[in-house]
């Protein structure tokens, strides 16, 4: 393989990788995510977190609750 062909091959691999990582994987349905795309899953996750914060009176913009603790025992006003 000539150096020029090697360079073109490397550039093609980068273009394909970039397409897959930045576009295709974000819209592709993921079996492990219940057949949601990564974008849809992220939106759903963020909506659920926002609803949990609102139900507990936590301002999501200023406080990041520790989701590993029992939220029912957390009093955000203290």
Beta strands in the chain (DSSP E): 29-30, 36-37
Strand bridging mode 36-37 / 29-30: antiparallel
25-51: pLDDT as tens digits = 889 999 999 999 999 999 999 999 999
Residues above pLDDT 70, as percent of the chain: 76
12-28-64 Cα angle (round to 5): 110
What is the mean pLDDT of the segment spanning 39-64? Answer: 84
Task: State the pTM of this model.
Answer: 0.52
């Amino acid at each position: 393989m000539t150096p020029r062909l090697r360079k073109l091959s490397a550039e093609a691999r980068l273009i394909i990788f970039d397409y897959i990582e930045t576009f295709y994987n974000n819209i592709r349905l993921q079996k492990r995510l219940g057949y949601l795309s990564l974008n849809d899953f992220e939106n759903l996750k963020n909506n659920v977190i926002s609803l949990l914060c609102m139900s507990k009176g936590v301002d999501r913009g200023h406080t990041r609750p520790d989701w590993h603790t029992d939220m029912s025992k957390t009093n955000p006003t203290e």
